[in-house]
Amino acid sequence: MCGIVGLFLKDKALEPQLGALLSDMLITMTDRGPDSAGIAIYGGAANGDAKITVQSANPEQDFAGLQDKIEDASGGTAKVEIKSTHAVITLATDKLDAVRAALSTIAPTLRVMGAGESVEIYKEVGLPKDVVNRFGVRAMGGTHGIGHTRMATESAVTTLGAHPFSTGADQCLVHNGSLSNHNNLRRELKKRGLRFETENDSEVAAAYLTAEMDTGKDLGQALEGALDDLDGFFTFVVGTKSGFGVVRDPIACKPAVMAETDQYVAFGSEYRALVNLPGIETARVWEPEPATVYFWDHEKAAA
């Protein structure tokens, strides 16, 4: 039960403004989700580098000496950039899996928010404006991003329970609605080897997409599968390294508005989230159809 915003930039000139635009959109959705807020920003990937976003309840203690520990564990160089309760670890892509695995022993109190070549994920309990400020989201640039404000329904109001959920490299998902078969699905996905951090229904949706994409499906195909395998009410916005997707359940009660111009594709739970975007007055504005997958991809667009 929540507010969702998303922005996929087509015009490179807007990339430096991504964080600022998304921040305004997110704050407008405060009423829909005052419990926690989160944002996934894609971009800034240098060739051969990868990033891990981690979160700590005791950042001063946990982040001190973190760089050395990682470099010791991986045998390579790493950079740790601290942003409030979060830190972004930049390292060589070929060290990513090893460091992710090592984190549970060298820094067991850290929680991994997301990892990949391009994504950074920031989320915390509290009002969207405070979350945006503590992480300096306004100053961030990027190619696309997704934000979420949460009104918790059945699972706990915690950092890990905030959206976006990331269950695979460069993947993230945000959700508005309420799934009705997530407990059974979680059990099935656990058997398939997926790990869960929360009891949140939305995390199950994220893990489902990850598991489906691991079988070789692209995001669009995985979302088609979600329409059959997920029960309940949902509007999902999902991100991948280069792509941005939207799907609503077949009943499609939860609100969703999209806008497209030559410069961007934007998503908002309500139109008012979009009113500050450049050129919104002349944008094509529509509501996504039920049970219909919408998908944009920088790589496919370039091809």
Partner 1 sequence: MPVFDLSVTPLREFNQALHDIKDGANDTAFEVVNPRGHHSVAVGIDAPVSVEVKGSVGYYCAGMNDGGTVTVHGSAGPGVAENMMSGTVVIEGDASQYAGATGRGGLLVIKGNAASRCGISMKGIDIVVHGSIGHMSAFMAQSGNLVVLGDAGDALGDSLYEARLFVRGSVKSLGADCIEKEMRPEHIEALGALLEKAGVSDAKPEDFKRYGSARTLYTFNIDNADAY
Partner 2 sequence: MSYHNPPTPPRKSATFDDATMAEIRRAAATGIYDIRGGGTKRKVPHFDDLLFLGASISRYPLEGYRERCDTSVTLGTRFARKPIKLKIPVTIAGMSFGALSGNAKEALGRGATLSGTSTTTGDGGMTDEERGHSQTLVYQYLPSRYGMNPRDLRRADAIEVVVGQGAKPGGGGMLLGQKISPRVAKMRNLPEGIDQRSACRHPDWTGPDDLEIKINELREITDWEKPIYVKVGGARPYYDTALAVKAGADVVVLDGMQGGTAATQDVFIENVGMPTLACIRPAVQALQDLGMHRKVQLIISGGIRSGADVAKALALGADAVAIGTAALVAIGDNDPRWEEEYRKLGTTAGAYDDWHEGRDPAGITTQDPELASRLDPVIAGRRLANYLKVMTLEAQTIARACGKNHLHNLEPEDLCALTIEASAMAQVPLAGTSWVPGKGGF
Give residue for tokens 């404000």. Answer: 149
Going by C-alpha positions, the residue among 153, 148, 193 that lies closest to residue 26 is 148
The CA dihedral of 239, 276, 265, 7, to the nearest 10 degrees, is: -10
Contact positions with partner 2 (CB under 8 A) in 65-104: none
Q: Which is nearer to partner 1, 32 or 123 (CB)?
A: 32
- Across the beta sheet with 172-179, the strand order is 172-179, 232-239, 243-248, 294-297
**Interface residue with partner 2, options 122, 135, 233, 294 (CB under 8 A):** 233
Point out which residues pair with 124 in neighbouring strands: 37
Binding segment toward partner 2, per CB under 8 A, in 42-50, 170-178, 272-280, 281-289: 170-178
Contacts of 195 (CB under 8 A, 6+ apart): none
d(CA 263, CA 112): 32
Which residues lie near partner 1 (CB under 8 A)? 28, 252-253, 255, 257, 270-273, 275, 285-287, 289-290
Verify binding: residue 1, partner 2, rule CB under 8 A: yes
Site string for partner 2, 139-158 (x = CB under 8 A): ------------x-xx----
156-165 burial code (b ≥16 CB/10 A, e <16): eebbbbbbbb
178 contacts which partner out of partner 1, partner 2, none, CB within 5 to 8 A by kind?
partner 2
Peptide bond into 250 cis (omega under 30): no
Annotation marks residue 2 as catalytic: yes
Verify binding: residue 107, partner 2, rule CB under 8 A: no
Verify binding: residue 178, partner 2, rule CB under 8 A: yes
Min dist. Cβ of residue 108 to partner 1 (A):
45
d(CA 260, CA 275): 13
Q: Which is nearer to partner 2, 102 or 151 (CB)?
A: 151
Min dist. Cβ of residue 154 to partner 1 (A):
24
Q: Which residues bind partner 2 (CB under 8 A)?
A: 1-3, 31-34, 151, 153-154, 176-178, 233, 253-255, 269
**Active-site residue list:** 2
